[in-house]
Amino acid sequence: MKKKSSIEICLFPAAGYGTRFLPATKSMPKEMLPILTKPLIQYGVEEAMSAGMHTMAIVTGRGKRAIEDHFDISYELEHQIKGTSKEKMLADIRYIIDKCTFSYTRQKEMKGLGHAILTGQPLVGHEPFAVILADDLCVNEAEGVLAQMVKLYETYQCSIVAIEEIDPEQTDKYGVIAGVEIEPGIYRVSTMVEKPSPADAPTNLAIIGRYILTPDIFDILQQTKPGKGGEIQITDALMEQALQGKVIAYKFRGKRYDCGSIDGYVQATVELYNEMKDAY
Ligand code: UTP
């Protein structure tokens, strides 16, 4: 098992409606969509575990009970396949269930990612914590993105966002940062804007769905007014920390698939299949 991390809790905001995948997401959470045989959220939990975290806090919403069932024992099914060749297909999920603690809370109204994170406060308490948006699937040959970010947190002791360079025409889909590059690929953030038009974007450095947040973010989120799209935006709250020099942006090593979009989802499925087909 990995050594204990300086960050123990990983929060998964998973209450969004996932409208881009309707009707599949009508009664099933987007986070349960599979890439090959594993649901997206399981990839996220595995990434958090490989960064040394074992407390998974999940913000769910109506119709998301499948997530809770996935991270629980299924006695009947396990009894049925015990001793058959299929038993090994549950080995990974059994390991996760054994090693991790899961807690859940419901976001009653979908008021945005910032609001979803604030809803998770009772599960997190007063510690620094990680956030994974499970629809951003990150793959690496060596170290997972969150594990890379935990190392950075140990140096900088402040909030950290993962970024990547995007096509400048796509800035209106992301939170975009600007800052001073203090080490190769590591920026001290001075500006953050949520979904700017290409003309207004300060750079093409976009925030992806991996964060490490210090717990003062909750007090800031309490005060954060609805921003872009009428939603409470985590980017706006992080900007408050950035004004104090307390946000680092990190160009992670690895590849991200935007599995919240059809294109990204299909690309992830095809590429992971090509890599792993021999195992099936
Ligand atoms: P997205 O905007 O990508 O997710 O939110 P969505 O709204 O579910 O998707 P579409 O656009 O309708 O297809 C990013 C992440 O934030 C969570 C989502 O579950 C997703 O993981 N989220 C968003 C919440 O938990 N609550 C919210 O109010 C909004």
CA-20 nearest atom, ligand 1: 13
As a whole-number percent, the residues of the chain with pLDDT over 70 amount to: 98
- Per-residue pLDDT for 168 more than 90? yes
Cβ-contact 239, 220 below 8 angstroms: no
10 in contact with ligand 1, CB cutoff 6 A = no
Peptide bond between residue 23 and the one before it cis (omega within 30 degrees of 0): yes
CA-61 nearest atom, ligand 1: 25
Q: What is the pLDDT of residues 81-103, one digit of tens each?
A: 888 888 888 889 999 999 999 99
Q: What is the pLDDT of residues 109-163, one digit of tens each?
A: 999 999 999 999 999 999 999 999 999 999 987 899 999 999 999 999 999 999 9
- Per-residue pLDDT for 5 more than 90? no
d(CA 253, CA 265): 20
- The torsion region of residue 109 among left (phi > 0), alpha (psi -120 to 50) and beta comes to beta
Task: State if pTM tops 0.85.
Answer: yes
> Given this model, what pLDDT does residue 4 score?
60
Ligand 1 center–CA 221 separation, angstroms: 17
**If you count them, how many residues does the chain have?**
280
String of DSSP letters for 234-256: HHHHHHHHHHTT-EEEEE-SSEE
Please provide the CATH number assigned to the domain covering 9-279: 3.90.550.10
Helix, coil or strand: residue 76: helix
Ligand 1 center–CA 87 separation, angstroms: 34
- Per-residue pLDDT for 56 more than 60? yes
d(CA 129, CA 214): 7
